[in-house]
Chains A and B, each alone.
Chain A
Amino acid sequence: MKELVIISGKGGTGKTSLTAAFAFLAKNMVLCDADVDAADLHLLMAPEIIERHDFQGGHEAVIDRDKCVECGLCRELCNWNAIDEGFNVSPIDCEGCGVCVYFCPEKAIDFPLKTCGEWYISDTRFGAMVHARLGIAEENSGRLVALVRQQTKKLAEEKGLDLLLTDGPPGIGCPVIASLGGASAVLIVVEPTLSGKHDMLRVAELAAHFNIPAMVCVNKFDLNQDETKAIEDLARSKNMEVLGRIPFDPIFTKAMVQGQTIFEYDPRSGACEGVRGIWDRITERL
């Protein structure tokens, strides 16, 4: 079984639109949306939810006011200043470390599991999809990403499918690290800008750090051809294969407004040609 994870470092370079376009072209595939923090793939996939599960990401301290004697030890020990002078725990600040719970001399702090989001198994017009929604302002997005990927793999095994197509999150931190481990390869979608180049280098270094082979494609390449060339040269110098270029094309936005992939919106566009070439090269490499 192979898993391709689509990442970018910088946000807004076209990861989700490309993942959706690949989903149109791919065969024997299960889709995974690993951007649980601001998931958008479902807007193009119109998934019909088959299974819905709670995600319990951790515990949360709750002070029982009947038992609390206001000794103040919890406030002293909390590294996140999550307990105010009135002995209320701020759920946004509580890290769920349990130090206050453990050391409270009155055993006055409860530590219930908290539901931080939901994850789903769905059907789409391109096959099955596993996705999730992390609650706003919640923590542990990395654990939810790992869970969603694990469930995608399980589903593919059950269905006898051999490709996992994963839409990754932006950045290089906790959720991205969780989206990379054990992947067959990553595709880095880069835009030809100074920021795009800078961010590609950091995420490429992250992939190398975890020994995941990385490939690169340049989206909206004609916005700056010099930068496109510089990015491609740089990628090759870092031993990353350059799979192709996609022109700047308003059909990405138009298709998105219709809830479609670019192939459904206008299969003859230049963008589709570029994406098809990149996908052919990906399938050869995988």
Chain B
Amino acid sequence: MIISIASGKGGTGKTTVATNLAVSVAGNARLLDCDVEEPNSHLFINPVFEEALVVTTPVPEIDETKCTLCGKCAEICQFKAIVVLGNTVLPFENLCHSCGGCMRACPADAIRWKERELGIIRKGHRNGLEFINGTLRIGEAMSPPLIRKVRAEAGKDGLTIIDAPPGTSCPVIAAMKGADFVLLVTEPTPFGLHDLKLALGAVRILNIPCGLVINRSDMGDEKVKEYAREESIPVLMEIPFDRRIAESYSRGELIVESMPDWKNKFIGLHQQIAAIVKQEG
């Protein structure tokens, strides 16, 4: 089973829920941190890393001895990543989406691939938990290809938990697509509600069953709960604002470690999700 933890709004507690859930469930589990722009799960899991892989994407390189300046490459490129300027062809590799169009369109066979670094994937473990994260290279604009690489580490067996990036556009879709369940984490405020609606829109486009965790559930108003009722989204957990939780989070501690009572609640959360997935499946 694959559970993707998403939110729309940032800072609602995705990483808190993902990490505490991952260490609470028994048996074969893995945690994938797909928030490659700002990965934080490892700060709480403290995994022993065993492997680091550089992830690259192919971008064009021009062989000027073969190039006839015909301009076909610039004509096909939708991303303005390759232009003919005077008597030279200039690739802008940061804009390239690696579609391969220019290479195929070139009648003179003057385009070769070279690799642009997207970031790094690291793999490790903590006790029985397998841990994988991706870290986007600073200055790299395109996170979805790296997210998809981290995402591809999800196994068929056991439980995979995905810590998704915030937002509702392509990076989030890359982290949610193919999951069996999306757990939306929100806070009961106007910002939380507004972004929850957007996130739910994305979940509905992908047609994945979902449930809600309300974090800092006693700050704000009742509108998130009213909305969840109207939309028939089950509220699976509420985490009240507790200065002890906020402070232990600030130190990089798991809730289930500083307040062990919470472990059973996260086990219960997993059981509820498993029941919903079984019912829907």
Interface residues of A (CB under 8 A from B): 9-13, 16, 37-38, 40, 43, 58-59, 77, 79, 92, 95-99, 102-103, 134, 136-139, 141-142, 169-174, 176-177, 191-196, 198-199, 202-203, 205-206, 209-210, 223-224, 227, 248, 250, 253, 256-257, 259
Contacts and interface: CB of A to CB of B under 8 A. Distances in A.
Given A79-B98, A170-B10, A172-B38, A37 B205 contact: no
Contacts of A13: 11
Contacts of A142: 141
B101 A209 contact: no
With most chain A CB atoms within 10 A of its CB, the pick from B195, B198, B250 is: B250
Given A97-B78, A199-B40, A253-B220, A11 B250 contact: no
A205 B136 CA distance: 12
B15 A16 contact: no
B191 A172 contact: no
Contact of B250 (A98, A102, A173, A194): A194
A192 to B, nearest CB: 6
Contacts of A256: 189-191, 220
Contacts of A193: 249-252
Given A37-B168, A38-B168, A173-B142, A98 B101 contact: yes
B101 A102 contact: yes
Given A142-B141, A194-B252, A206-B138, A257 B190 contact: yes
B38 to A, nearest CB: 4
Given A99-B76, A172-B136, A173-B143, A227 B250 contact: yes
B167 interface: yes
B190 to A, nearest CB: 5
Nearest to A133: B198
A142 B76 CA distance: 21
B250 A192 contact: yes
Given A173-B143, A174-B143, A134 B9 contact: no
A13 B12 CA distance: 10
A170 B166 contact: yes
Contact of B191 (A16, A141, A205, A224): A16
Nearest to A177: B141
Contact of A137 (B98, B173, B249): B173
B211 interface: no
A38 B164 CA distance: 15
A171 B194 contact: no
B13 to A, nearest CB: 8
Contacts of B9: 11-12, 38, 40
Nearest to A35: B167
Contacts of A259: 190
Q: How large is the interface on B (under 10, 10 to 19, 20 to 34, 35 or more residues)?
A: 35 or more
Contacts of B38: 9-11, 170-172, 195, 198-199, 202-203
Nearest to B42: A198
Contacts of B138: 172, 202, 205-206, 209
B251 A194 contact: yes
Query: Which 10 pairs of residues, A with B, have the shortest CB-CB distance?
Result: A11-B10, A12-B11, A97-B99, A171-B37, A194-B252, A224-B250, A193-B250, A174-B141, A37-B167, A136-B201
With most chain A CB atoms within 10 A of its CB, the pick from B12, B169, B201, B206 is: B169
B8 interface: yes
B219 A224 contact: no
Interface string B212-247: 000000011100000000000000000000010011
Contacts of A202: 37-38, 138
Contacts of A92: 173, 177, 205-206
Interface string B153-176: 000000000000111111101000
A124 B153 CA distance: 47
B97 interface: yes
Contact of A139 (B12, B101, B169): B169
B202 interface: yes
B19 to A, nearest CB: 11
B140 interface: yes
Contacts of A169: 167
A177 B205 CA distance: 27
B71 to A, nearest CB: 14
Contacts of A16: 191
Nearest to A171: B37
B140 to A, nearest CB: 7
A141 B169 contact: yes
A99 B100 contact: yes
B208 interface: no
